[in-house]
Structure 1
Amino acid sequence: MSTATVEAAKPLSPLAVRLNEHLKAQTPTGAPTLADRCDSCPQPARSVFMFSVAPDPDGTGAEAGGVYLCAHHIRRHIGALIGDRALLSFWVEPVELSHFDGVDAPRHNAHKSGDGLTDA
């Protein structure tokens, strides 16, 4: 029996199913900018999770707040974040989801062909 047959028979986790569904509908409009940083460390943000928040008593009118995470913190906390009932939406760099079993995301390819500058 080949490895592909064994993997095909393995059921997907609920997290993998949800992430696959999300990737099909994800658009680049929610992506963090180059200036956005992880809320837990100084690394660049690779995801944004938007949550509904309670009305501010000071009257600022904010109804949502974002959590920005780097690649390391995505892998550490994504299960808890997307399971939160207050989650409104989220955007995750697709290549970062390739670390999860069963998620149909492109893998990062660090190998360059040719001279490494032109792919020639």
Structure 2
Amino acid sequence: MDRAFLALADPVRRAMVARLSRGPATVNELAEPFDITKQAVSKHIQVLEQAGLVTRTRDAQRRPVHLDAAALERLTAWIDRYRLDAERNYRRLDKLLAQITTTEGKKR
């Protein structure tokens, strides 16, 4: 999980993941929106691959890159667990503040 979050810390890699969420792409297709070398794009793909976020397959001469949706789902589930805890805490705080406000209003 640490490798995945580190990989996603880079905006180029996040953009690649966003592109791959629409379907597989070649290195050339992933390189199009960026002003970087294909070698740099390949290194970014390698980081995503080592993080378990993407895989490559062979299709004749092509080597398309595929997003591993299950890996993203695991990250989302981990984040959601803490998001739900934070939301519960905020709801409790909202309730407490409402009670304090109501109590203060009655004292006046």
- TM-score bracket, normalised by the shorter chain, equals under 0.3
TM-score normalised over the length of structure 2: 0.27
User: Which structure features the higher share of helix residues?
Assistant: 2
User: Which structure features the higher share of strand residues?
Assistant: 1
TM-score normalised over the length of structure 1: 0.25
Larger Rg: 2
